[in-house]
Amino acid sequence: MDFKDVVRRRRMVRAYDPDRPVPREVIDRALEHAIRAPSAGFSQGWDFLVLTQAADRERFWASTSPSEGGAPDSWLRGVRTAPCLIVCLSDKDTYLSRYAEADKGWTDRDEARWPVPFWDVDTGMAALLMLLTAVDEGLGGLFFGVPPERHEGVRNDFSIPSGRGFVGVVAMGYGVPDRRSPSLRRGRRPVADVAHEGRFGHRWATSP
């Protein structure tokens, strides 16, 4: 598939065929592509927890879903059919240590030096490469977050080190017809509305 088609076809898929597992080689390719993401200082401070076994996925959903009881909503019912979940974790400590090395010139690990948390940004870019890989392989994907109040439960259930941050989860599988997000009715902002040339407010003029 041409890259432009991969980008255009990418959408957040919210329901999957639970009886069609993701081939191992496809997961391998997604992970191989993920580690090609850019990372500040080539720190590569990311980890990916792959959940393909039914028992592991059920444990994840039990750890992250509301405990009040009752039936799950339509979003959760659909996403729970995904046969593969990849929890994307960032490692801030790796970045702070990397930039305290001699070739970077910083003499401390002060987090205030960082304009944005690149450990989270870089891990998010790795997740996007997984989503694009899914499209290229004829699958669907979804990126979603783990509620902050559920982090400790997931951390305990899967032995995740305390220094890892939860950036999000990539769900992957063979998509089935689902309800498209009502947010799409907002429409996509055109390039002319979001790109500025020379100074903010001067619209970028796209080529004819």
Distance CA 46, CA 50 (A): 13
pLDDT at residue 74 in the model: 83
Instruction: Please check whether residue 207 is in contact with residue 178, taking contact to mean a CB–CB distance below 8 angstroms.
Output: no
pLDDT at residue 165 in the model: 98
CA 143 to chain centre: 5
Q: Is 155 exposed, middle or buried (0-12, 13-18, 19+ CB in 10 A)?
A: middle
Instruction: Please check whether residue 159 is in contact with residue 2, taking contact to mean a CB–CB distance below 8 angstroms.
Output: no
Length in residues, the chain:
208
The residues near 52 (Cβ < 8 Å, ≥ 6 apart) are 21, 22, 27, 83, 84, 85
pLDDT at residue 1 in the model: 86
pLDDT at residue 71 in the model: 66
| DSSP codes, 119-131 | HHHHHHHHHHHHH
Distance CA 166, CA 31 (A): 17
pLDDT at residue 183 in the model: 87
pLDDT at residue 69 in the model: 61
pLDDT at residue 166 in the model: 98
Residues 56-80 as b or e (16 or more Cβ within 10 Å = b): ebebbeebbeeeeeeeeeeeeebbb
Vertex 205 angle, CA 204 and 208, to 5°: 150
* pTM score, whole prediction: 0.93
Q: Letter for the amino acid at 204?
A: W
Instruction: Please identify every stretch of the chain with a pLDDT value under 70, giving residue numbers as ranges.
Output: 67-71
